[in-house]
Amino acid sequence: MIDDVTSKLLVFSMNMESYKQQVSAINVANANNANFKAKTASFDSVMEVMLRQDNAADLHKTVEQYQHFRIQQIADAQHPESNHAVVLDQEIINSDRASSKYNKLVELLNRKIGLVKLGIKGQ
């Protein structure tokens, strides 16, 4: 069950949202450091690669390849050009968005597991 492409994609997406929260936490922790430059994290390049896959088998292979990397290695981490300082309000918004997405992904994974349980029980 956990080996199917949907489950792996859900877990992978959860890891991406978790990393976004970590980046926001690092930014907040360094808000008073004058030399610190705020970072952002996105996974746009990863998503572009996944969207180009024509079928489930290719998508499964792509997700498998990305799972061998540490999440930090595939993140599009960057310093925003317009403002290098940490903006606490923006970091709270970023963290909240990532947390909300993570919770929704957990809910989806739990529902999927529930459906598999029903299938196993034969109901």
**Local confidence pLDDT in tens for the 123 residues of the chain:** 456 888 888 999 999 999 999 999 999 999 898 888 888 888 888 889 988 988 888 888 888 888 888 888 888 877 655 567 888 999 999 999 999 999 999 999 999 999 888 888 886
Provide the residue ranges of all domains of the chain, joining segments of one domain with +: 5-121
Report the alpha-carbon distance of residue 103 to residue 91 in Å, rounded: 18
Whole-model pTM: value is: 0.81
C-beta separation of 38 from 86 below 8 A: yes
pLDDT (0 to 100) of residue 20: 93
pLDDT at 83: 60
Residue 111: what pLDDT? Answer: 94
Which residue intervals of 38-87 are DSSP H helices? Answer: 44-51, 56-67, 71-74
Please report the pLDDT score of residue 80 as a whole number: 59
Predicted local confidence at residue 123, as pLDDT: 65
pLDDT of residue 116: 87
